[in-house]
């Protein structure tokens, strides 16, 4: 992002003392999604994607080479929020240069791009914008389900291709001092309450953390997958004060560990992976249902259920577990997240901060859909796929140094994202092949839509899109971003 710009572009920015930069226009990649009802089927919506504010050039208005989002903040540029807003501008981004390619209803994210001499990490994070192209799309998923197709075949150990929800402000906390708002990807928050240099487009002058409810629908590579609700004590997007312990794990306002299900971690070691029941060497469909006590939106969330579809066959999440506490659940373990399951897992912070009911209230208010691809130099993502207990990956397989050296073309493709009434986002003809272990009664519980009114649950576009990113043509000016893609 800090690519040197030709002098004539610097001259343009010199005159631009405003809060939205003018050097690079912001053109959101279009990615169609679908909204589904049991009554009327699925309707396509012209939604788009926007990258996070902090993955852009955020620079001095009079000098593109001086960054604003530094740690610590530059006290000359940003002594206070109002001065900072005068002095700093948030720039557009050429999406190819951050490893993002969207076509039709699919988006491919790449971790690394070749700059001519080496692969550089770009690790994109994207938010779903509404049809107005200005505000985030509010997903209100209590008593609803969300489905998408995914190709994780190119994600090995240590990679995390994620699709999740955060209770961000739908305008990106747009304000007088943050006129850009969601159009420029401001307002990010999650249950880790990260301390970042800018929060809601404003300088973070007191080391606050940026907190909100988070529902991790999908964190995965080809070796392991987890889905995990993380609750917070307050609704919406809010700050935590580190001097009080509010940003801490055990005394804090958000549940950092969450209450998740990772089938491998529970002992189902042959359910998810290349050639396994859910065959990750090929695309498949992921359905997540947010079920309430009486299947209306007026009662609390009581279950988060996972289903897979592959080869037109429904595959319920595995109910296999070797965890003694989970085996002893009243009624047994059905492969779903319930409050009893969370108690059995000892998810104390989750329960302390609202539990499934709190997560359901957040889902009812509306959350923002996030796509990201990342890896982790600190822990090699072993909490997701490693150590022999969370997944099959060995202790060093997830080291980003090894990934970039041996497998730099890691990517994930998400497609056909749709949501709506329970049972409205998919149809299957197979209710349970021998391979899945599902059977007709399990399929009857999960399905519900008659043929002809659901969307095509098959895979369209996944994995077929050739990724071509790099020098983009911006406003008629060829902007050399120096990123050359390897097909």
CA distances from 431 to 215, 456, 457 (A): 28, 16, 14
How many chain residues interact with ligand NAG (CB under 6 A)?
Answer: 29
Give the x/- contact pattern for ligand NAG in 124-163, rule: CB under 6 A.
---------------------------------x------
- Nearest residue to ligand NAG by CB is 245
3-state DSSP of 64-122: EEEECCCCCCCCCCCCCHHHHHHHEEECCCCHHHHCEEEECCEEEEECEEECCCCEEEC
**Does residue number 241 form part of the binding site for ligand NAG (CB under 6 A)?**
yes
Check the CA dihedral 373-60-91-238 and report its sign: positive
CB 264 within 8 A of CB 319: no
Q: Of 73-81, 266-274, 355-363, 384-392, which part binds ligand NAG (CB under 6 A)?
A: 73-81
**Does residue number 403 form part of the binding site for ligand NAG (CB under 6 A)?**
no
CA Rg value for the chain: 22
User: Which residues are known to be catalytic?
Assistant: 214, 219
Least distance in angstroms from the C-beta of 272 to ligand NAG: 17
- Which of 9, 66, 177, 435 is the binder for ligand NAG (CB under 6 A)? 66
CA distances from 176 to 48, 281, 326 (A): 24, 48, 51
**Does residue number 74 form part of the binding site for ligand NAG (CB under 6 A)?**
yes
**Does residue number 396 form part of the binding site for ligand NAG (CB under 6 A)?**
yes
**Does residue number 298 form part of the binding site for ligand NAG (CB under 6 A)?**
no
End-to-end CA distance of the chain, in Å?
21
Least distance in angstroms from the C-beta of 63 to ligand NAG: 6
In angstroms, the CA 121 to CA 114 distance is: 9
**Does residue number 441 form part of the binding site for ligand NAG (CB under 6 A)?**
yes
Structure tokens at 405: 């050296």
Tokens 């947010």 map to which residue?
290
Q: Which helix (H) or strand (E) holds 377?
A: none
Give the x/- contact pattern for ligand NAG in 156-195, rule: CB under 6 A.
-x--------------------------------------
**Does residue number 208 form part of the binding site for ligand NAG (CB under 6 A)?**
yes
The residue ranges that bind ligand NAG (CB under 6 A) are 60, 63, 66, 74, 76-77, 157, 202, 205-206, 208, 239, 241, 243-245, 248, 291, 294-295, 394, 396-397, 422, 439, 441-442, 445, 448
């Amino acid at each position: 992002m800090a690519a040197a710009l030709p002098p004539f572009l610097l001259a343009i920015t010199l005159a631009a003392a405003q809060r939205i930069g003018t050097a690079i226009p912001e053109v959101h990649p279009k990615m169609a999604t679908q909204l589904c009802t049991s009554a009327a089927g699925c309707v396509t919506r012209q939604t788009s994607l926007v990258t996070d504010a902090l993955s852009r050039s955020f620079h001095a208005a009079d000098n593109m080479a001086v960054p604003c989002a530094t740690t610590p903040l530059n006290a000359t540029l940003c002594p206070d929020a109002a001065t900072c807003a005068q002095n700093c501008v948030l720039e557009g981004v050429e999406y190819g240069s951050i490893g993002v390619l969207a076509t039709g209803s699919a988006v491919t994210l790449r971790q690394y791009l070749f700059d001519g001499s080496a692969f550089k990490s770009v690790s994109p994070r994207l938010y779903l914008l509404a049809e107005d192209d200005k505000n985030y799309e509010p997903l209100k998923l209590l008593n609803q389900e969300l489905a998408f197709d995914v190709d994780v075949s190119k994600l090995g150990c240590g990679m995390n291709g994620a699709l999740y929800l955060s209770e961000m402000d739908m305008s990106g906390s747009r304000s007088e001092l943050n006129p850009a708002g969601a159009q420029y990807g401001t307002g990010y928050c999650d249950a880790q309450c990260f301390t970042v240099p800018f929060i809601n487009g404003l300088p973070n002058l007191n080391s606050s953390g940026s907190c909100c409810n988070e529902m991790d629908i999908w964190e995965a590579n080809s070796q392991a997958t987890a889905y995990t609700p993380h609750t917070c004590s307050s609704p919406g997007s809010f700050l935590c004060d580190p001097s009080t312990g509010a940003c801490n794990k055990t005394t804090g306002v958000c549940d950092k560990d969450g209450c998740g299900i990772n089938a491998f971690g529970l002992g189902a070691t042959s359910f998810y992976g290349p050639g396994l029941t859910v065959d990750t060497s090929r695309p498949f469909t992921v359905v997540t249902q947010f079920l309430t006590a009486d299947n209306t939106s007026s009662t609390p969330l009581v279950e988060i259920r996972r289903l897979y579809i592959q080869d037109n066959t429904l595959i319920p999440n595995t109910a296999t577990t070797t965890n003694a506490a989970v085996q002893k659940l009243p009624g047994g373990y059905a492969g779903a997240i319930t409050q009893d399951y969370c108690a059995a897992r000892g998810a104390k912070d989750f329960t302390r901060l609202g539990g499934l009911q709190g997560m359901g209230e957040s889902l009812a208010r509306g959350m923002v859909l996030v796509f990201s691809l990342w890896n982790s130099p600190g822990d090699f993502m072993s909490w997701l796929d490693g150590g022999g207990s969370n997944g099959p990956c060995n202790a060093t397989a997830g080291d980003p140094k090894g990934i970039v050296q041996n497998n730099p073309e890691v990517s994930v493709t998400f497609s056909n994202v749709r949501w709506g009434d329970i049972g409205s986002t998919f149809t299957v003809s197979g209710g349970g092949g021998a391979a899945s272990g599902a059977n007709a009664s399990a399929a009857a519980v999960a399905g519900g839509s008659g043929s002809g009114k659901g969307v095509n649950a098959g895979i369209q576009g996944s994995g077929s899109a050739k990724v071509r990113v790099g020098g983009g043509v911006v406003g008629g000016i060829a902007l050399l971003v120096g990123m050359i893609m390897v097909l």
